[in-house]
Amino acid sequence: MRTYAGHSSAAESNALYRRNLAKGQTGLSVAFDLPTQTGYDPDHELSRGEVGKVGVPIPHLGAMRRLFQDIPLGEMNTSMTINATAMWLLAMYQVAAEEQGVDAAALAGTTQNDIIKEYLSRGTYVFPPEASMRLTTDMIAYTVNHIPKWNPLNISSYHLQEAGASPVQELAFSLSTAIAVLDAVKDSGQVPEDKFEKVVGRISFFVNSGVRFIEEMCKMRAFGELWDEITRERYGVQDPKMRRFRYGVQVNSLGLTEAQPENNVQRIVLEMLGVTLSKKARARAVQLPAWNEALGLPRPWDQQWSLRLQQVLAFESDLLEYDDIFDGSHVIEAKVAELVEGAKAEIDRVQAMGGAVAAVESGYMKQALVSSHAERRAKIESGDIKVVGVNSYTETEPSPLTADLDAAIMVADPQAEANAIADVQAWREQRDQAAVDEALAKVQAVAKTDENLMEATLAAVRAGATVGEWAGALREVFGEYRAPTGVSGVVGVTEAGAELTAVRERVKATGEELGGRRLRFLVGKPGLDGHSNGAEQVAVRARDAGFEVIYQGIRLTPSQIVSAAVAEDVDVVGLSILSGSHMELVPEIQRGLVEAGLDNVPVIVGGIIPESDARRLEAAGIAAVFTPKDFGMTEIMGRVVEEIRKANGLS
């Protein structure tokens, strides 16, 4: 039983972990901030506004020591949601444990390390796919030989569903990822044939559970069937224990609403039942979001509430006392068979392209997800999919839970970034720089060979290198990468209704009034926030509405966005930020546009933005702020064109 937690600083997160463990939590699930996830130190330009926001900053060994102070790592099961820099974080965890007197072989836990889905959903990739798979392969080989109880790879279909995946796509794309990784490990020759079963046995999955809980439960039974077949037939695994589909769950955050957020509690319970009702497909570890996630950062009390939901289910209900209650159900068997058949066909399609890496590089998987997500959004807007409190049953009594919105969420420590910058600079000053330089040179030398990178990474940790320095050294060898956005070619709305038709006409007329051209809409993702689902859907709908759309993908500095606005001669700039860095990055872009002479270009902002922050942004001249409650995408497009007219003095 876990909650996904971490914020502000190693010291504050350590206190939170110890409180949660005292309340009955039985494992730790560490959330790292975006600079740590993407290989930047707190004082890097791209880290501005992101330090300590969506997780804890852990740039060096000293911070890792502090994070787990007074927590016995030899007795703990720790899950780390980390991907591009997973090798670095595991190395720091191992060294911190050794300093506690714990042998690496005794460590138990998981590094997510599923880089394929980062190119498709979360966006915290650093290196090109082939180099990233090299790091994953090296980690798997190292842990099988040195940390046998560690799960070095936690294939995360969770984020695929958040990016719009159907159950069939979730099954197929995540299992295609597993095939790609297992093939890479086999081809590397780092694991003897007689140990390959252990590689298969240590792979785990991290799965999403949506509110359609019967379908989700059938999906889990399908996962188990498919995994057993793949591991037996493709890889010849004979031991049934090594073929077991081992998975943990974070139930769905995509369906959590800002409107009537109290409804999220029953959604979370239904989603939890989807992965616990069926004994044969029951999750081994569950973590639940908090009811107020769509509003901002949950408080400790909100996390406690989610933990208590699990405890009531486990200890008060009789759910765990019976064999599988769905065995023999014709309805369940038929649905599972349908999902298995669909997933096999999609897996075959990906394999025919050359596997998951090729399907990432070609943009196939990303475009499929963007298209699926656009279809879902269109159905919510049309009412074909009902969301209580959002597009149906919107009449509501005032909620005491949100009477004071500013108090209904936790605010990250405003000093977190300054403190982290001071900390990393102090860390650099007190270490042996020559030893660091030598260790990083060794990392680069090994990266140019087929040798396993883990030992060189451990040496860099012990020497005192930082996450930014380690990642920077590897960037020089492997290069960086910009994944396909998946937006080109996707049609969001096939048949325009009256509302979209009216907006199209307004967009066209406005363009003609401004010089007889199409209106140009720049969609920007500033900072390190890689959750691009919202930006992609805005881009698709803007194109459907008649705008010419400029969308360059994720991880841009404010100055890059301003430069793009100037070069593309845009009529409006739309910024998407879900990481909480809006109060730092938006004003910086706004200033840059004014300085570049684009003071008549309206700026609109969307994301997880508390109401008080939205008011401050609008008071500072931001034309409009949209949050998850604003689900009507066509309505948003109508507002955008009106802001363009207003900014240009059109009636």
**Which residues form the catalytic set?**
4, 158-159, 525, 529, 531
Exposed (0-12), middle (13-18) or buried (19+): which is 265, by Cβ within 10 Å?
middle
Contacts of 461 (CB under 8 A, 6+ apart): 61, 88, 91, 92, 95
Q: What are phi and psi of 607, to 5 degrees?
A: 155, -165
Nearest to 6 by CA among 109, 79, 100, 97: 79
Q: Which residues pair with 28 in a beta bridge?
A: 78
Per-residue burial over 200-213, b = 16 or more CB atoms within 10 Å of its CB, e = otherwise? bbbbbbbbbbbbbb
Other residues' Cβ atoms within 10 Å of the Cβ of residue 381: 21
What residues have CB less than 8 Å from 123, skipping those under 6 apart? 483, 529, 530, 531, 532, 554, 555
Burial call 90-128: b when 16+ CB within 10 Å, e when fewer: bbbbbbbbeeeebebeebbbbbbbbbbbbbbbbbbbbbb
**H or E element in which residue 308 lies:** helix 300-315
How many CB atoms sit inside 10 A of residue 522's CB? Answer: 27
Contacts of 16 (CB under 8 A, 6+ apart): 5, 6, 7, 300
Contact 204/153 with Cβ under 8 angstroms? Answer: yes
Nearest 5°: CA angle at 194, between 190 and 200? 75
Looking from the CA of 583 toward its CB, the CA atoms found within 13 Å total 15
Contact 43, 421 (CB under 8 A): yes
Alpha-carbon gap, residue 136 to 285, rounded angstroms: 23
φ and ψ at residue 287, rounded to 5 degrees: -130, 140
3-state class percentages of the chain: helix first, strand second, coil last, to nearest 5 = 55, 10, 35
